[in-house]
Amino acid sequence: MAKYTGEVTREHESIYHHHVPRFYLRAWATENRIWWSGYGRILCSELTVVGGENHFYRLDQLCGKDRFHLAEIAKRLAYGSEANRRFLDAFTLPHIARSNLLLLDPTFEMKGETVAEHIRKLDLKIANAAEDYHTSIENTFQPYLASMLQGEVAFYDDDQKAAEFLYAFMLQFTRTKGPREIIAAHPGPFDNIRGVWNLLHQMVAFTAGASFFLDRRRFKIVLIDNCTAVPFITGDQPIINLHADLMTRKPPERMEMYYPLSPTKAMLYLERSTSLYTDRQSVTMEEAHRFNQLIAENAYKQLFAASEDSLKIIAPTAA
């Protein structure tokens, strides 16, 4: 469904993993610094140290039971069983191979390299594979974000581009810390639900993206402009379902999405039958504030804005 542009080559372990991409947050930044609130404070920091966490996407070693349940889920998801199987192999086999190599003499040579050298390569794969995959998908998404910032959504009428966009869009929806922590509170049959979610969120995104793609003629992208004195903010859950019930956490029956793109522009992904917003519309100050409230209500820990004042309005307790 989505075009994978190839593995990002890193010679060193990637430590700080952004679950909110830096390229996305740049729309709110000035000279690579962005205002953010969280943990009871408001600060201005470099883009390199916000919207992420050390080793967030590092692959965990999963027990046989967790791998079995993942494989069963991969088979039963509505779309992409083959792609989901590849996800499962790519993100579980490095630990299995490493465990097997540890049984051998580290000086023993295999294909011109010692066992110890093979283990070092696997350690890099374990540290970087998921982060590199996200980087590759981000690279496919950036042109679509740039188009929307320029007021263009013609890519949605192209099947290949729409498929890439919808998968990357759903991956950004599922890859953040908030969904992982919600899932972690309900581990179900899994022993290591956080480690499982590192893989499962990609399967969910692939399935959701495929579903939206097959049903794409029923949906539309609406860009909204904000020329008011209340700029749009964003958060560590930048894409939100307008029909989500944050009180009960019950699975919503419908999905229509809100996604701020910059302080002055946002995107809505709506059913075509929705008449609240037309193909292009400007928001009032009250509407802009309400959208900002929705971002704040759905955020896990952090909000981001172009100014300190924007955060003081929406998060006064952090001031």
Question: What digits encode the pLDDT tens for the residues 285-298?
Answer: 999 999 999 999 99
**What mean pLDDT comes out for the span 59-83?**
88
pLDDT band at residue 275 using 50, 70 and 90 as cut-offs = confident
DSSP string across the chain: ------PPP-SS---EEESS-HHHHGGG-BTTEEEEEETTEEEEEEGGGSSEEETTTPPPPPPHHHHHHHHHHHHHSSS-HHHHHHHHHHHHHHHHHHHHHTTS-TT-EETTEEHHHHHHHHHHHHHHHHHHHHHHHHHHHHHHHHHHHTT--GGGGSHHHHHHHHHHHHHHHHSSHHHHHHHHTS-TT-S-HHHHHHHHHHHHHHHHHHHHHHTGGGEEEEEEE--SSS---EESS-SEETT--TTT-PPPS---EEEEEETTEEEEEEETT--SS-SEEEPPHHHHHHHHHHHHHH-SS-EEESSHHHHHHH-GGG-
Is residue 200 domain-shared with residue 308, that is, in the same domain?
no
Identify the pLDDT of residue 216: 96
Identify the pLDDT of residue 271: 95
Residue in 257, 254, 255 with CA at minimum distance from that of residue 266:
257
Is residue 60 domain-shared with residue 49, that is, in the same domain?
no
11 domain-assigned: no
Is residue 100 domain-shared with residue 177, that is, in the same domain?
yes
4 domain-assigned: no
Is residue 207 domain-shared with residue 227, that is, in the same domain?
no
Identify the pLDDT of residue 259: 98
Identify the pLDDT of residue 197: 94
Is residue 147 domain-shared with residue 206, that is, in the same domain?
yes
Is residue 135 domain-shared with residue 242, that is, in the same domain?
no
Residue where one domain finishes, among candidates 190, 213, 236: 213
pLDDT band at residue 2 using 50, 70 and 90 as cut-offs = very low
Q: Looking at the predicted structure, is the pLDDT value of residue 3 above 70?
A: no
Is residue 153 domain-shared with residue 172, that is, in the same domain?
yes
Query: Domain range spanning residue 97?
Result: 56-213
Is residue 197 domain-shared with residue 304, that is, in the same domain?
no
**What mean pLDDT comes out for the span 8-24?**
87
Is residue 143 domain-shared with residue 118, that is, in the same domain?
yes
100 domain-assigned: yes
19 domain-assigned: no
Residue where one domain finishes, among candidates 213, 234, 260: 213
Interacting residues of 281 by C-beta distance below 8 A, sequence separation 6+: 222, 224, 225
Q: What is the pTM of this model?
A: 0.91
Residue where one domain finishes, among candidates 183, 213, 243: 213
Q: Which of 66-70, 185-189, 231-235 has the lowest mean pLDDT?
A: 185-189
Domain count of the fold of the chain: 2
Is residue 140 domain-shared with residue 231, that is, in the same domain?
no
